[in-house]
Amino acid sequence: MPFAIALAVVGIELSPLHFLYTGPMLTATPALAAVTMGPKGTLSAAAFALAVSVTTATYNQAWGSQMVYTNFLAVFVVSVAAVMGSGAVRTLREKELHQVRRIAVAAQEVLLRPVPPRLGPVRAASMYLAAETGAQIGGDLYEAVQTRYGVRMIVGDVRGKGLPAVRAAAAVLGAFRESVHYEDDLVEVINHCAAALRREDAMPGAVDQDVLLEGFVTALVAQVPDTHEVQLVNRGHPPPLVLRQGTVQALMPTSPFPPLGLEDLIIGPPGKADSYPFAPGDRLLLHTDGVIEARNRDNDFFPLPEAMEALHTRTPHEFLEQLHQGLIRHTDGRLADDVAMVLIDRLAEEAGEQVGAGDASSSDRRH
């Protein structure tokens, strides 16, 4: 807009309409630039306005007129003020942006904290990648907690975007973190999450109604007890993948159930958790659909099972980091959806006892 105004002044001054007084229009040019551009853009607009003022005055042979000098002085004064003001505004915006980012990081640490590297009989690692540029958190969720019933985990994906999705994720995670410690039935744990989502839904103004119409949450809850098995309750979520002796297998649910928030679609009695072998040396990956639905330029999906098999010797942290790099390469750095992953390795009892003793010794030394 500032440069368009200056060009309009040039057109008027070089035409038979040059008798019109265009000084106020040129004066507005640097002022408008200060609102929409940074210091460099404002300086460019101011220099252009001054150049137009000199050019038109010379072309019309108007030098010596008091109006020309007044107009030139006004443009100069406003230009200096605009350049100084744009710098101050930019500094203020940078401070505000820094503060917002600090708040976002703090929110992420509360909502999506990294899982501990050691949880009972398993080693663990987690990763979250937000698809939106500059975002720290989004609609995907995860958690892993050690309880008296074993290690319990959740991975979920909220249908929707923005703050409503974050609020729904917070409601589900809050219910999970509370119920995992006193509900012995894994189905009841996920039922608490569904109830929390309904309460969030019912709160006036808590979540945008347009999002609620499609704002269900796919979720997968897992439990690794002391026995060599893993128990799963899947509510419309992509099945987890187990890596056993270099081969990947999907753990499909025996009785599919709809996502959280769509309980009206459930017909018949509530189901029960599915059990699958999970022996020492096995590796389990819980993930959201942002991983398996990531596409490249040829519209090919990310080959997650093949990528897992190629990384079977890596530690959990290295494994997820390599998957991250593979996703970035596959999509050329353009993730279309958020990504959440939780990885666990089942340890042998002897290794678990040694690590546990080491942790206790370290704890004694710290205290």
Output the six-digit token pair for 277. Answer: 């072998």
Confidence class for position 323, pLDDT limits 50, 70, 90: very high
Q: Check residue 29 and give its pLDDT.
A: 67
Residue that wins the pLDDT comparison between 285 and 57 = 285
- Give the Cα separation of 87 and 93 in Å (integer): 10
Q: Check residue 178 and give its pLDDT.
A: 92
Beta strands in the chain, from DSSP E residues, in sequence order? 118-119, 122-129, 140-147, 150-158, 217-224, 229-235, 241-244, 247-250, 274-277, 283-287, 339-346
Task: Answer yes or no: is pLDDT of 345 > 90.
Answer: yes
Query: Are 154 and 167 spatial neighbours (Cβ–Cβ below 8 Å)?
Result: no
Radius of gyration of the CA atoms of the chain, in A: 30
For the stretch 266-294, pLDDT in tens is 776 667 899 999 999 999 999 998 888 88
- Kindly report the average pLDDT of the chain as a whole number: 77
For the stretch 163-202, pLDDT in tens is 777 888 888 999 999 999 999 999 999 999 999 988 887 6
Lowest mean pLDDT among 98-112, 118-132, 339-353: 98-112
SS3 of residue 262 by DSSP: coil
Residue that wins the pLDDT comparison between 272 and 66 = 272
Q: Once rounded to an integer, what is the mean pLDDT over residues 148-168? A: 86
Task: Answer yes or no: is pLDDT of 102 > 90.
Answer: no
Confidence class for position 362, pLDDT limits 50, 70, 90: very low
CA geometry: angle 230, 233, 236, nearest 5 deg = 130
Q: Check residue 360 and give its pLDDT.
A: 38
Lowest mean pLDDT among 16-30, 281-295, 320-334: 16-30
Task: Answer yes or no: is pLDDT of 203 > 60.
Answer: yes
Residue that wins the pLDDT comparison between 98 and 156 = 156
Residue that wins the pLDDT comparison between 212 and 165 = 165
| Per-position b or e across 219-242, b if 16+ CB within 10 A of its CB | bbbbbbbeeeebbbbbbbbbbbbb
For the stretch 218-238, pLDDT in tens is 999 999 998 899 999 999 999
- Give the Cα separation of 91 and 109 in Å (integer): 27
Confidence class for position 367, pLDDT limits 50, 70, 90: very low
SS3 of residue 306 by DSSP: helix
Among 106, 104, 112, smallest CA distance to 141 is for: 112
Q: Check residue 212 and give its pLDDT.
A: 41
Q: Check residue 209 and give its pLDDT.
A: 44
Confidence class for position 152, pLDDT limits 50, 70, 90: very high
Confidence class for position 49, pLDDT limits 50, 70, 90: low
Q: Once rounded to an integer, what is the mean pLDDT over residues 51-61? A: 64
